[in-house]
Structure 1
Amino acid sequence: MHTGDPTLKDRLAWPYDKRGSYSVKSGYYWSHSRNIDHCRQSNWLVPIPSTLWKIVWKLKVPPKIRTFMWRTLHAALATMKNLYIRRSSLSPICPLCNSNDESIEHLFLFCRWVEVVWFGGMLNLRPHPLHVSSWANWIVQMGDSETGSIEVRINRLSYIAFTCWHIWKSRCDFQFNNQVIYPSRVVAAISRSVSAYQDFINRLSFPSLLNQPNLGDEVQWSPPNQGVIKINVDASWDASVGGGFMGVVARDENGRFLAASRLRVKATGATMAEALAILHGCKLGVRNGWNSICIESDSFDAISCLRDPAKKGSWDAFPILRKCYRLRMAFQACRWSWVPRLANSVADFLASRKCREACDQIWVHRPPSSLVHVLCNGGLPCPP
């Protein structure tokens, strides 16, 4: 029995294309379907809901960390176990503890030093092997819609992504550069990364008015309403030393100088330093017995959290901002206001390293000589 046309010559045909012609696209889909089927049969790759993928690509982390998380979920990370499966390593054993295979789950959740990092971080997690069937399932559980709003879930998974990134970096530094791992330093590095990226996002979301051409003289300090004391605050932060300076200046409705201070501050990030400056401004108002105050800052993240107590913002600044929010009860009226840096120039000068005055100084009624020129630049009255 013949099949086909016997007058035609036989030819090669690609069975996964309706025209019988091979293409890179059809070859890719064929290979992909084989890998998925193999992974499902071997329980190596757990199917991930599409909702989780959408959250992964919306994480508040740099693009390289999003891609990194994508690789972990696809088991595409060069752990010792994955290398051993691909015959690129002689052993699957973890190079840090030398007691278990270095799988994705062991690397990020169960290695002894990693447990300290998770518990010492913001989430205070203690993953247990009995409660984690796979890495993908654990991520799905942490991003479950029943554990909070979409914003809360994204913030939680963003912190997890930063943690995984620093765990992997520390592991590679140990493996290839012989660097000893100190879990407390890893926790501190995670905190700095989270704070720095949040500050970067805030600057993009609320761009500086310095580059807008038609603002003219409108961007300057403005006096408060009658009977209100305006307290401008600002802070600088240097990641290399883990601290900086904060500056606070208070003026009345006529622009007259009332008090100012410049103090050294220790913080894990710029947002925390800004929060400490706001707290110091509130305490300055309490000490001087002012009834109505307006706290002005150029930190959009801090002011947003004070205006909306439901927002938690940066984890390290949140407890400080809660103290500020509670201190408002010491005044008859307390208002939080965001201003661009040009309208916060005096506090910005006090917080900067350019200020010649020594730190930990408080001035009442009479400003220092270096501050008089900055005050007068705004065309406002200042003591001689």
Structure 2
Amino acid sequence: MGWVNTHTRELFDGYYSLDITYELLLGGYYPTGINANSNYVARDLAALGLILSPQPPTDPLKVVWKTIWSAKVPGKVALNAWRIAANILPTRRNLSLKGYDGDTGCVLCSHDPEDSLHLFINCPYASDIWSKAGLQWSVNGAASMHECLLATLPRLNKEEVNKTLMLRWGIWKNRNSQVWEQKSKHASETFLITLGWYEDVKRSNASPVVRCRQGVKLVKPRAGQFKMNCDGAYIPSTRRGGVGCVSRNSEGEFLAGASRPHALLTSPFHAELLALKEGLRLAMTLQYTEITFESDCALLVQAFQQEDQDLSTMCLLIYKHASGES
């Protein structure tokens, strides 16, 4: 058996004990007819493969990666969630590990240190947002964000996962605004704006509805009533625009009009909304008691007619202007 010992040591020495190797090679697995002139020792290839090429270890965060990349959220939101899970987000704690010697306290509450677990879970600012969203995190003394993600993400349904990733992106964006611009939104504002954007994303990802364009016949108001036609214009390249409104009586005769330029508009819908607001101002100035407002913006009409709670950007604009903000 000297040749077996020699070739066995050549193949396995430094990796497996000689006793285990003998058990593998001499347990009935080596080919018959092998002789001293053979320059190798072999056994059943499948069994040997399990020894030389063991199964790779299972990634404990596999379920987290799958949850993140299957979420129906914008790419930058999913990427931000991945950076949080991989612990490579440039929080002050992580920066200190790479040589940063400045303040390591939380930008939003001064807690030291600012790491992902604190910023997105334990920080009072984040806790306020999660409370408003109806998502309470019971981390049970988790020592890291990895432990927190493994304990929470698998229990959430798809809608809750989407909102969680969106709100974490909103928290991170607000934190960066505070760092670089010294501007920080209230938790309520961050919550509304972020989920408003999420509602817009869901609408844009929904199956398009085919609509047939039909001619619209203008209907005159009843005798003694008035009609206010409102319209807005928007230039995307400059984010500027203008609004106008015209008042007519039941005979279609022109009574009054108003127009106004606007800067820093966000969308065509924003321009249409400001046009309606201008029409309301004119109607109040003329002291109309019975008046019908008319707009060619179907989204604006639908937004005012719906009864369900809506957190989209469009309805946030309506709430903003209805409260008297400019």
Equivalences, count: 278
Correspondence 1:72-221 to 2 at 5 A? 72-79=84-91, 81=93, 89-90=98-99, 95=104, 97=106, 100-108=112-120, 115=125, 136=148, 157=164, 160-167=167-174, 169-170=176-177, 179=180, 181-184=182-185
Matched-pair contact (CA < 8 Å) for 1:247–1:263: yes
- Over the aligned positions, Cα root-mean-square deviation in angstroms equals 6.0
Partners of 1:13 and 1:78 lie apart in 2 by 48
- Structure 1 residues 63, 128: CA separation in 2 closer, same or farther (over 3 Å shift)? closer
Residue-by-residue CA offset, 1:190-234 (whole Å, 9 max, x unaligned): 988887887787688798x9xx9x96xx66x74125527543334
Give the greater-gyration-radius structure (CA): 2
Partner of 2:275: 277
Partners of 2:177 and 2:309 lie apart in 1 by 32
Per-residue deviation, 1:103:
1.8
Partner of 2:294: 295
Partners of 2:252 and 2:140 lie apart in 1 by 61
Matched-pair contact (CA < 8 Å) for 2:232–2:271: yes
- Structure 1 residues 278, 204: CA separation in 2 closer, same or farther (over 3 Å shift)? farther
- Structure 1 residues 186, 231: CA separation in 2 closer, same or farther (over 3 Å shift)? same
Partner of 2:31: 7
Matched-pair contact (CA < 8 Å) for 1:55–1:154: no
Q: 1:233 aligns with which of 218, 230, 233?
A: 230
Partners of 1:284 and 1:95 lie apart in 2 by 54
Per-residue deviation, 1:262:
1.7
- Structure 1 residues 225, 17: CA separation in 2 closer, same or farther (over 3 Å shift)? farther
Partner of 2:243: 246
Partner of 1:353: none
- Structure 1 residues 272, 56: CA separation in 2 closer, same or farther (over 3 Å shift)? farther
Per-residue deviation, 1:104:
0.8
Normalised by the size of structure 2, how large is the TM-score? 0.54
Residue-by-residue CA offset, 1:231-250 (whole Å, 9 max, x unaligned): 33344568999975432233
Partners of 2:192 and 2:240 lie apart in 1 by 14
Partners of 2:206 and 2:256 lie apart in 1 by 32
Gaps of 5+ in 2: 1-22, 33-40
Per-residue deviation, 1:258:
3.5
Partner of 2:77: 65
One-letter code aligned to 2:171: C
Report the 3-state secondary structure (helix = DSSP H, G, I; strand = E; otherwise coil) of the residue aligned with 1:65.
helix
Identity %: 15
Partners of 2:319 and 2:99 lie apart in 1 by 49
One-letter code aligned to 2:244: G
Partner of 1:304: 302
Per-residue deviation, 1:66:
2.4
- Structure 1 residues 245, 192: CA separation in 2 closer, same or farther (over 3 Å shift)? farther
Is 1:260 aligned to 2:267, yes or no?
A: no
Partner of 1:348: none
Partners of 2:238 and 2:112 lie apart in 1 by 38
Partners of 2:45 and 2:99 lie apart in 1 by 41
- Structure 1 residues 166, 67: CA separation in 2 closer, same or farther (over 3 Å shift)? same
Partner of 1:336: none
Per-residue deviation, 1:317:
2.0
Residue-by-residue CA offset, 1:318-360 (whole Å, 9 max, x unaligned): 4257679xxxxxxxxxxxxxxxxxxxxxxxxxxxxxxxxxxxx
Per-residue deviation, 1:7:
2.7
Residue-by-residue CA offset, 1:129-148 (whole Å, 9 max, x unaligned): 9999575569959x967xxx
Gaps of 5+ in 1: 40-44, 325-384
Report the 3-state secondary structure (helix = DSSP H, G, I; strand = E; otherwise coil) of the residue aligned with 1:316.
helix
